[in-house]
A and B are shown apart, each in its own frame.
Chain A
């Protein structure tokens, strides 16, 4: 079964500091994509970053970067220079060669001023 696990229900970070959100997944597929989505209180799902499994290089989008460890099936999100607007639920997600994107349970990130 393809599952996504986020072991941190809640995390907090001081403004301007760095925080890392964890995600692990279970799959037997070799070709898949991994995602981090941000869900603010408005509950919109906003794509933060995407990683293709065949790429060894970790994806980076401005202050957001991932640590993709394919052998360990780990996909953590690092947020640098945290801002108040980063406060949200963050969901890790996985999709392989079917239509069913699997989501983790989410991590609620609080940013302290």
Chain B
């Protein structure tokens, strides 16, 4: 069964450093998403991406965050200057159809900011 692949599975970074989280969505999917889950809290929407541009973003997705689909297969989330509170599980997801069709999540990247 097709999967959404995320790398790395766990990343530790120092506060203030830039970090890039990588995702390879399912190949025929056109809609891409990032979500995050701070330990012990709800899963929260960050951003959606379609046709090479952001289609929607949440309040969490401020100027420190950016997304990119550089080569037609990878979908990346960049955090420019990480803060302690960015420590969370970050999930990539993709979908073959627009909302309200559901989507497939990747296995997540655990980001720890120290």
Contacts and interface: CB of A to CB of B under 8 A. Distances in A.
A101 B104 CA distance: 12
Contacts of A93: 43
Interface secondary structure of B, over-half rule: strand
Interface in A85-102: 91, 93, 95-102
Interface in B47-84: 48, 55-56, 58
Given A99-B33, A99-B48, A103-B42, A44 B108 contact: yes
Contacts, number: 60
Interface secondary structure of A, over-half rule: loop
B44 to A, nearest CB: 8
B101 A91 contact: no
Q: What bracket does the count of chain B residues touching chain A fall in?
A: 20 to 34
Nearest to B41: A105
A29 B33 CA distance: 22
A101 B100 CA distance: 9
Contacts of B102: 33, 35, 47, 50, 95, 101
A63 B35 CA distance: 28
Given A33-B101, A95-B99, A95-B102, A101 B35 contact: yes
Of the listed residues A50, A101, A105, the one surrounded by the most CB atoms of chain B closer than 10 A to its CB is A101
Interface of B: 31, 33, 35, 37, 42-45, 48, 55-56, 58, 89, 91, 99-105, 107-108, 110
Given A50-B102, A99-B56, 20 more contacts: A33-B100, A37-B105, A42-B107, A43-B37, A44-B107, A44-B108, A91-B43, A93-B43, A97-B100, A98-B56, A98-B99, A99-B33, A99-B45, A99-B55, A99-B99, A100-B56, A100-B58, A101-B33, A102-B45, A103-B44
